Structure 1
Amino acid sequence: MSMLSPQLQGYRLTTAEIIYRLPDHPDLLQSYIWQEFDIAPDFPILRKFLDFWQRSLDGKLHSVTVGATSLITPGELRSGHSFSLH
Structure 2
Amino acid sequence: MSDPLIRSLDHYVVLVPGESEQLLTAAATLTWLTERLTALNPWPEDLRGCDGASEAAERLLDTACELETSPGVCVQWYAVRLEPPQS
TM-score, length-scaled by structure 1: 0.36
Judging by fraction of residues, say which structure has more strand. 1
Judging by fraction of residues, say which structure has more helix. 2
Which has the greater radius of gyration? 1
